[in-house]
Amino acid sequence: MKKTAAIALIACLFTPFEATSAQEDFTDITVVTSSFKPYSYMTNGKPHGISVAQAQKIFKQLDFSPRIHVTTWKNAYKQALNKPKTLIFSMIRTKEREDKFHWIGKIANVEAYLFRQKENNYITLEALKDGLKYRTGALEKDAKGKYLANNGYKLWPISSQNAGVKMILANRIDMIPADINSLKQSLKELGLPNDALVPVLKLEAVSKPVYIAFSKDTPLPLVEKFQEAYKQVFINSH
User: CATH number for the domain including 181?
Assistant: 3.40.190.10
Give the Cα separation of 164 and 187 in Å (integer): 11
Give the Cα separation of 136 and 132 in Å (integer): 8
Answer yes or no: is 141 within a domain.
yes
Answer yes or no: is 16 within a domain.
no
Selected residue with higher pLDDT from 237 and 144: 144
Answer yes or no: is 5 within a domain.
no
When mean pLDDT is compared across 10-19, 22-31, 121-130, the lowest value belongs to 10-19
| Residue 61 parent element (H or E) | helix 50-61
Q: Which of 95, 90, 96 is nearest to 37 (CA)?
A: 90
The amino acid occupying position 107 is I
Residues 101 and 117 grouped into a single domain? no
Given a cut of 60, whether residue 109 has pLDDT beyond it is yes
Q: Which domain holds residue 165?
A: 112-206
Residue 79: beta bridge partners?
none
From the number of C-beta atoms within 10 Å of its C-beta (0-12, 13-18, 19+), residue 116 rates as buried
Confidence of residue 5 (pLDDT cuts 50, 70, 90): very low
Residues 141 and 197 grouped into a single domain? yes
Q: Mean of the pLDDT values across residues 221-234?
A: 97
Answer yes or no: is 193 within a domain.
yes
Residues 218 and 182 grouped into a single domain? no
| Residue 65 parent element (H or E) | none
Please, are residues 168 and 176 in contact by the beta-carbon 8 Å criterion?
yes
From the number of C-beta atoms within 10 Å of its C-beta (0-12, 13-18, 19+), residue 84 rates as middle
This prediction's pTM: 0.73
Residues 167 and 187 grouped into a single domain? yes
| Residue 119 parent element (H or E) | none
Residues 141 and 117 grouped into a single domain? yes
Residues 172 and 91 grouped into a single domain? no
CB-side neighbour CA atoms (13 Å) of 183? 25
Confidence of residue 197 (pLDDT cuts 50, 70, 90): very high
Answer yes or no: is 14 within a domain.
no
Given a cut of 90, whether residue 9 has pLDDT beyond it is no
Number of Cβ within a 10 Å radius of residue 220 = 10
| Residue 89 parent element (H or E) | strand 86-92
Quick one: what percent of the chain has pLDDT higher than 70? 89
Rounded to a whole number of angstroms, the distance between the first and last alpha carbons of the chain is 55
When mean pLDDT is compared across 22-31, 70-79, 130-139, the lowest value belongs to 22-31
Q: Domain tally for the chain?
A: 2
Residues 130 and 143 grouped into a single domain? yes
Q: pLDDT averaged over the chain?
A: 90
Residues 119 and 196 grouped into a single domain? yes
Answer yes or no: is 12 within a domain.
no
Answer yes or no: is 4 within a domain.
no
Residues 149 and 35 grouped into a single domain? no
Residues 118 and 192 grouped into a single domain? yes
DSSP letter (8 states) at residue 67: P
Answer yes or no: is 7 within a domain.
no
Please, are residues 165 and 192 in contact by the beta-carbon 8 Å criterion?
yes
